[in-house]
Chain A
Amino acid sequence: MSTVIDEVTREPVEGRTASRTRDILKITDLHAFYGESHILHGVNVNVKEGELVTLLGRNGAGRSTTLKAIMNMVGRRTGSIVIGGQETLAMKPHHIPRLGVGYCPEERGIFASLDVHENLLLPPTVSSGGMSLDAIYAMFPNLFERRKSQGTRLSGGEQQMLAMARILRTGARILLLDEITEGLAPVIVQALGEVLVKLKASGMTIVLVEQNFRFAAPLADRHFVMEHGEIIEEISAAELSSKREHLNKLLGV
């Protein structure tokens, strides 16, 4: 009985959200190749504006490749990737960020030949409404203190902050974040979590590739589980508690 009531009360809310927000990122039957190797086998993912979704899965499941494929950084792609209503499969790599996409690579990609300030100013503005330099330095005070240091002299946590901060300046509204908590101390991970909450509250759309499920779980609206280059399961935040065990099995933790 109670489940019926639940369904009834929840239905209109979800319906309203769905009609109000559109898919800002819609990936359909995406295949990706590196040379001869076929990495993604028909990935389907949709992300609504303002949503935070995760791509979960074991190493080599194709999560990072999915983000790279969105950025047109893999060898060859087929299928469809629509960003903000625009098909991007035929676009040049440097045109994709201009649709408002910010990419934070797994290896962080901090430039050794640039100091922290230059690293921060490096990515060109893609649209108006990005965070100001002052706001960024207020959000990441460590970076301000070390702004004259060589980018790669920062600690791992600071480098990660820098890699995030520099795409916030550009006005990107869709953030693709690859393993941002990897190898970081718990206190830094917690700080990153707080940053993500703030960004989500400001209306950013975030796709998070994560290994650290405990970090991702409380932040995300939905989780996509990948295996062998495919999405094998989609789990909403509401279903999480009931599917926890199933998910652990899928992730092999």
Chain B
Amino acid sequence: MTMIFGVPMAVFMGQLTLGLVNGAFYALLSLGLAVIFGLLKIVNFAHGAQYMLGAFAALLAFNILGINYWLALVLVPLTVGGLSMLIERFLLRRIAHLDHLYGLLLTFGLALIFEGTLINWFGVSGARYATPEILQGGLNLGFMFLPTYRAWVLVAALAMCLFTWFMIERTRLGAYLRAGTENSQLMQAFGVNVPLLITLTYGFGVGLAAFAGVLAAPLYPVSPTMGSSLLIVVFAVVVIGGMGSILGAILTGLGMGVIEGLTKVYYPEAANTVIFLVMILVLMLRPAGLFGKEA
């Protein structure tokens, strides 16, 4: 059997795939966080809970309404994103003039409420969401066995990341978003409805989290706490990548997933901490992050 640095090829490739899939989730989530932070200047602590809501919405939509996975992949981000716009409009906007710390506290409180409510109804054990039939099984690539659903997650997450990149970097609405991130007051003096732009941006960022949640539903147990543990890692990824660039967030997300995955192969004990070690290193050497602009 082929060995890579003393590890069987199949094991190595398996962990690499796992790392890339995790990285794809990091990328989707950190992208949403970065977009929201850019315009609202709020660290959205509800992001993990909103990812969890995406997974739960897919689960409940299937169990109660019989809505299948593919439909859920479209409807759930729209619904969760749409409802989050109400949060922005009626809660976040009211405290927008205060210190941004209040936004952090408010979203943290919301996260606790979402989690607590769902724990109350469903407990913490978590439920299984069936993988859609067409994505069951796997491909034998010869050197490794590639589960179809993981491959799909990778493709779908990357496609969504690229779509986001395109929207922000190549469209007029994206130019508004970038300019508003720099100087929203001037944008308003040009006649741009900045409050509406803020609402849409929050909805979009949360929609990305919900999309990630639906993708995650067949992969991990759907439980009320699935978001909170992930969010801490995603924050570290955002710190490592910096707030400056969309592509930076995507690359950092994937890269950190891979580093985490490979650490599992060579030194499993450090797998849960390696990202935070990287974060400390980056903070010491490049405080603005790998892709961030120095202030």
Interface residues of A (CB under 8 A from B): 71, 73, 93-98, 103, 105, 109, 111-114, 118, 121-124, 126, 167, 170
Contacts and interface: CB of A to CB of B under 8 A. Distances in A.
Contacts of B161: none
B267 interface: no
Interface centre among A113, A122, A124, A167 (most CB of B within 10 A): A113
25 contacts: A73-B189, A93-B188, A93-B189, A93-B194, A94-B192, A95-B191, A96-B191, A97-B190, A103-B189, A103-B190, A111-B182, A113-B179, A113-B181, A113-B182, A114-B175, A114-B178, A114-B179, A122-B175, A122-B179, A123-B190, A124-B190, A124-B191, A124-B192, A167-B190, A170-B190
B71 interface: no
B37 interface: no
B185 interface: yes
A167 B175 CA distance: 16
A96 B192 CA distance: 10
A170 B185 CA distance: 18
B176 interface: yes
B186 A105 contact: yes
Contacts of B272: none
B191 A97 contact: yes
Interface string B149-192: 00000000000000000000000100110110111011011111
Contacts of B176: 122
B165 to A, nearest CB: 13
B190 A122 contact: yes
The dominant DSSP class at the A interface is loop
B194 A94 contact: yes
Interface residues of B, number: 17
B175 A118 contact: yes
Given A118-B175, A121-B172, A122-B175, A112 B182 contact: yes
A71 B191 CA distance: 10
Nearest to B244: A113
A30 B175 CA distance: 35
Contact of A109 (B175, B178, B181, B183): B183
Contact of A111 (B179, B185, B188, B193): B179
Contact of B186 (A109, A114, A124): A109
A97 B186 CA distance: 11
A73 B182 CA distance: 16
Contacts of B175: 114, 118, 121-122
Contacts of A112: 182
A126 B192 CA distance: 10
Nearest to A125: B191
A113 B190 contact: no
Contacts of A73: 185, 188-189
Interface centre among A93, A96, A97 (most CB of B within 10 A): A93
Given A73-B185, A109-B186, A94 B179 contact: no
Contacts of B194: 93-94
Nearest to B181: A113
A94 to B, nearest CB: 5
Contact of B191 (A109, A114, A118, A123): A123
A201 B194 CA distance: 34
Contacts of A93: 185, 188-189, 194
Contact of A126 (B172, B183, B191): B191
A96 B185 CA distance: 13
Contact of B183 (A94, A111, A170): A111
A227 B186 CA distance: 26
Contacts of B189: 71, 73, 93-94, 96-97, 103, 105
Contacts of B185: 73, 93
B71 to A, nearest CB: 35
Nearest to A167: B190
Contacts of A123: 190-192
A112 B179 CA distance: 8
B191 A98 contact: yes
A129 to B, nearest CB: 15
A123 B186 CA distance: 10
A72 to B, nearest CB: 8
Nearest to A97: B191
Nearest to A105: B186
Nearest to B179: A111
Interface in B184-218: 185-186, 188-194
B178 A113 contact: yes
Given A93-B194, A124-B192, 8 more contacts: A73-B185, A94-B193, A95-B191, A96-B189, A97-B189, A111-B179, A114-B175, A114-B179
Contacts of B178: 111, 113-114
